[in-house]
Amino acid sequence: MTDRLRIALVQIVQRVGDLSGNADAMLDWRTREEGADLVVFPELQLIGYPPEDLVLKPALIARSAEQLERLAGATADGGPAMLVGTVRLEEGRLYNTLNLLDGGKVVAITRKHELPNYGTFDEKRWFTPGPLPQPIEWRGVKLGLPLCEDIWFPPVCAHLKEQGAELLIAPHGSPYEIDKDDLRTGRIGSDRVAETGLPLVLLNRVGGQDEVVFDGASFVLNGDGTLAWQLPDWEEALAITEWERGPDGWRCLPGDVHPLDPHPADIYHAMMVGLRDYVNANRFPGVVLGLSGGIDSALSAAVAVDALGADRVWGVMMPSRYTGQESLEDAAACARMLGIRLDTIPIEPAVEAFGAMLAPAFAGRQPDLTEENIQARIRGVTLMALSNKFGHMLLTTGNKSEMSVGYATLYGDMAGGYSVLKDAYKTVVFDLSRWRNANRPALALGGDGPVMPERVIDKPPSAELRADQKDSDSLPPYDVLDPILHGLVEEELSVGEVAARGFDPATVARIERLLYVAEYKRRQAPPGVKLGKRNFGRDRRYPITNAFRTVE
């Protein structure tokens, strides 16, 4: 029976579907620190998470089994054992599993019991729940191995404790959400430790995968609830944790406790990491975006520069007859402050051509929203032409407030491949812009100092698609609109419940109607970084054709 352990926690990125690449990375990390007894990797690290319907492909299951055997074989060298997550097909059923590899073989398997099926998670679509897991005895230690969601509710950890588990190791694939650090450590982790009296390791991954971003922030809590280790957020990290068995059981010796991002630095880093990994994993040389002189495009450009570097970001100003001089100046100033390329391509020739082309069909009708949308679509076509010709991904710049109420043009400003503001309300955009002007994120490739003129933040927002246009012509002020939307979207409240918070009932009812009728637009929007609990994507799946309203 051993009384000392060295457990290596490897907080790393993944690439969904790249089984050999993920296995190579795990073998590389295994050799980085000599003397570890056990190396732990995040949930489903071999195939990547979330795998979605890739796990329904027999070829993926077969290759996963081959790579797992390869990893197991590597442990025949007498080095550390490994805990590796992957899928397993057993008697026609697919399981999310954790595999203990040691001495050249798979020595134990545990199957995930609690399968999340909410928000971004669809695990009941793919997997069969495993039975309540038993502790795994290894080198004289009874390891409790709850897998991610298994620690979010009491039964699994309580069962492991009853069956003699001495410490809990919980590999995770836990995406970032606002305030989730506090939830993981302050409630979920602390509650399980308090209930069982056992020390707990929560190991999470880092990096972006389409709309979800993993923030790491792995930690170790001792049985008395004290924080022994806190790994950084957003960055890959290796922690060699030292453990001793005493009269009261196992205890992790104190190690590094890294500070985590405060708000809103966490949101900004989520945007950076999501965009960086999406662009790089899909092999785009960079991004192109419309730089209008407004706050949404200015913030999107700043995030892109911080994520990718100024040399990979290309701004395009596309003025029309309605574009003000301030907008021209502010776009140029943003490009100069960020150090990016800025081209100016006036759209008026195309507007006139469309006007002449459509004049016979539009005869007898006054200009209206149609002509405004034509301008937006000309800009979208222009940017997509540049994207097609030079290979840069088109970065869209719309925010969640606009997308909620349909204040966006399909095939116009909605065109593109990715959006960093998709889950950011307009008030959050203002907050992030002020924050970035005063702070440089730790992982930023952009420079110090402000990234946009203060005038961009202070001036009234406008789409500039008609003379003297302001967002407030069509929408309530954002400090009114955003709390209403938060109640309707994030909290799923009725019109009456939101109005009871002090809002005009007619205004709330109008916003609910706009929210529902814009569903068809959002269904065609590009993916974007998930920030809150109910992003427009995996989290919120409403029918396009929908007659329900919370007020008759």
Q: Which two tokens stand for residue 61?
A: 């299951």
The span from the CA of 143 to the CA of 40, in Å, is 12
* Residue tagged active-site, from 112, 426, 521, 533: 112
Share above pLDDT 90 across residues of the chain, in percent, rounded to a whole number: 86
What are the backbone dihedrals phi and psi of residue 209, each rounded to the nearest 5 degrees, phi first? -140, 95
Mean local confidence (pLDDT), 389-393: 98
409 band by pLDDT with thresholds 50, 70 and 90: very high
The span from the CA of 157 to the CA of 369, in Å, is 58
Mean local confidence (pLDDT), 257-262: 95
Beta bridge partners of 136: 143
Judged against a pLDDT cut of 80, whether residue 516 lies above it is answered with yes
> Residues 288, 392: contact at Cβ < 8 Å?
yes
pTM to 2 decimal places: 0.93
User: Which pLDDT belongs to residue 124?
Assistant: 87
Closest CA to 26 of 174, 155, 168, 203: 203
475 band by pLDDT with thresholds 50, 70 and 90: confident
pLDDT digits (tens, 9 = 90+) for 442-460: 999 999 999 999 999 998 8
Q: Which two tokens stand for residue 430?
A: 């203002």
Half-sphere exposure of 445 (CA within 13 A, CB side): 18
Mean local confidence (pLDDT), 268-287: 97
Mean local confidence (pLDDT), 355-359: 95
464 band by pLDDT with thresholds 50, 70 and 90: low
User: Which pLDDT belongs to residue 93?
Assistant: 95
Contacts of residue 367, defined as CB under 8 A and 6 or more positions apart, other chains included, come to none
The span from the CA of 57 to the CA of 473, in Å, is 51
User: Which pLDDT belongs to residue 395?
Assistant: 98
Tell me if the bond preceding 50 is cis, omega within 30° of 0: yes
Mean local confidence (pLDDT), 59-69: 96
- Residue 50 exposed, middle or buried by CB count within 10 Å (0-12, 13-18, 19+): buried
> Residues 416, 422: contact at Cβ < 8 Å?
no
* Residue tagged active-site, from 43, 123, 166, 235: 43
> Residues 36, 6: contact at Cβ < 8 Å?
yes
Q: Among the listed ranges 73-77, 127-131, 376-380, 542-546, which one has the minimum average pLDDT value? A: 542-546
Active site residue 252: no
Active site residue 497: no
Judged against a pLDDT cut of 80, whether residue 119 lies above it is answered with no
User: Which pLDDT belongs to residue 244?
Assistant: 96
Q: How many helices (H) and strands (E) does the chain have?
A: 18, 20
Mean local confidence (pLDDT), 269-275: 97
Mean pLDDT value across the chain: 94
* E runs forming strands in 25-173: 38-40, 81-90, 93-102, 105-111, 136-138, 141-144, 167-171
The span from the CA of 83 to the CA of 143, in Å, is 11
Mean local confidence (pLDDT), 402-407: 93
Query: Where on the phi/psi map is residue 439: left (φ > 0), alpha (ψ -120 to 50), or beta?
Result: beta
Kindly report the CA angle at 309 between 533 and 445, in degrees rounded to 5? 75
Query: Where on the phi/psi map is residue 116: left (φ > 0), alpha (ψ -120 to 50), or beta?
Result: beta
The span from the CA of 544 to the CA of 522, in Å, is 9
The span from the CA of 99 to the CA of 368, in Å, is 62
98 band by pLDDT with thresholds 50, 70 and 90: very high
Mean local confidence (pLDDT), 165-189: 90
Judged against a pLDDT cut of 70, whether residue 10 lies above it is answered with yes
User: Which pLDDT belongs to residue 117?
Assistant: 86
Active site residue 112: yes
SS3 489: helix
Q: Which two tokens stand for residue 425?
A: 């309300």
* Residue tagged active-site, from 114, 123, 148, 166: 148
Element (H or E) spanning 428, and its range? helix 426-438
Matching residue, tokens 């708000």:
263
The span from the CA of 498 to the CA of 496, in Å, is 5
Contacts of residue 160, defined as CB under 8 A and 6 or more positions apart, other chains included, come to 133, 134, 135, 144, 146, 168, 196, 198
